[in-house]
Amino acid sequence: MPLPNFDDAVRCDNRLLWDELDYDRDALLKESQTMERQLTDEQKVVYETVVNDVDHQKGGLYFVYGYGGTGKTFVWRALSAKIRSRGDIVINVASSGIASLLLPGGRTAHSRFAIPITVTEDSTCNITQGSNLAELIIQCKLIIWDEAPMMHKHCFKALDRTLRDLLRFTDQNAGN
């Protein structure tokens, strides 16, 4: 059994951060290298685009569409392994509990982001400034949301409002 990596122990008085940083980086690096070699050309475009944007802190929103069995989950796993092998945080969520089990460290979007069960156009997530969950979200480098089209648009708007509040982001074009 691998020993936990204590390099980040100083940052980890937050249990949520600790859980996300408690991966065997050497094993993830090997897994990442193996998975990179197995990516198809189409998968490699998605993979390299996301990794490049994470590396250069560009931010972005990507929608990857494909029928079942085309390897979307494989790409998510490869991205998670690559970024986590560096000691960075990836939040893996899915719209259903079954799909979340296929992602390393996966949770449902409702569970991870405290999205209300009854969501309206004015909803926000139940995450407060300075909370452990807020700190986890602020420090993450990538959020992977599998099966996103299964969710109602109000869930995304609630998360967007909450992220803007947590990150203190103001969009000059908001409302336009």
Q: What is the pLDDT of residues 132-163, one digit of tens each?
A: 999 999 999 999 998 887 889 999 999 999 99
pLDDT of residue 67: 82
Domain ranges of the chain: 12-167
Does the domain at residues 12-167 carry the CATH identifier 3.40.50? yes
Q: What is the pLDDT of residues 16-36, one digit of tens each?
A: 899 888 899 999 999 999 999
Q: What is the pLDDT of residues 38-75, one digit of tens each?
A: 999 999 999 999 999 999 999 888 888 878 888 899 99
Query: Model's pTM, two decimal places?
Result: 0.84
Q: What is the DSSP string of 95-163?
A: SSHHHHTTSTT-EEHHHHHT--SS--TT---S--TTSHHHHHHHHEEEEEEETGGGS-HHHHHHHHHHH
